[in-house]
Amino acid sequence: MSEFLLVRDLTKSFMSGDERLEVLAGLSLTMAPGEMLAVTGASGSGKSTLLHILGGMDRPDAGSIRIAGRDLLGLDREELCDFRNRTLGFVFQFHHLLPEFTALENVMMPLLLRGARPDEARGKALEALQGVAVAARARHRPGELSGGEQQRVAIARALVGAPRLLLADEPTGNLDPHTGETIGILLQKLHAEHGLTSILVTHNQKLAQICSRTCRLENGRLV
């Protein structure tokens, strides 16, 4: 099966005072379509940095990334924004919902940014909210929702544009154990239903166990 994601020799370092701190040190990764990968590792090991680079939100110092046949690092700013909007879905530890908008409006946002008609965006957003079992809360603002409901809305927002790659950074890290386990089961279900390729950065061993493969980030490389 051909590779969906091909990462070669990524390096990334940051300045910490007068010292240069190497976070990624020649990291490579290959994923087939439909894989669900957990990335674990100690705090500060570079897991979030890796996810941000794969999502086009940061750039490595060196290396190459191909996603669905596209050279991620070769895209210009406009191409990268369009690629992120159409191909990638993001779920974060903190939901990053816009507080002044309802759950429905938050989920509509990626489609409106893509140029979809409001009625089309509304229909697809409602369908996405139904898929994560919070359609009944569509008219509520984030502050009126529980933590688990907010994360479900964030997942609906990530999937409403039919992405091919889901990137989740500690998606259960801000939730109590029971709610976190429920969200993990939901992510596994949606991964299968939507035919996704998924990368989950997590400290949660139960979440890691639902994935088809687990890698640990150590000394700047995946093992």
Q: What is the pLDDT of residues 8-58, one digit of tens each?
A: 999 998 877 888 888 888 899 999 999 999 999 888 788 889 999 999 888
Q: Which amino acid is at 188?
A: Q
Residue 133's CB: how many other CB atoms inside 10 A? 13
Rounded CA-CA distance 106/110 in Å is 8
Task: Please report the domains of the chain, with CATH numbers, ordered by start residue.
Answer: 32-57+82-216 (3.40.50.300)
The whole-chain average pLDDT of the chain stands at 89
Neighbouring residues of 24: CB distance < 8 A, sequence distance ≥ 6: 10, 11, 12, 13, 46, 49, 50, 53, 60, 63, 220, 221
Q: What is the pLDDT of residues 113-162, one digit of tens each?
A: 888 999 999 999 999 999 888 999 999 999 999 988 998 999 999 999 99
Q: Determine the straight-line distance between the first and last CA of the chain, rounded to whole angstroms.
A: 22
> What pLDDT is recorded for position 220?
84
215 near 222, Cβ under 8 Å? yes
82-115 tens-digit pLDDT: 898 889 998 887 778 999 999 999 999 999 988 8
Helices (H), 1-146: 47-54, 77-87, 103-114, 118-131
Global pTM reads 0.88
- Band of pLDDT at residue 171, cut at 50, 70 and 90: confident
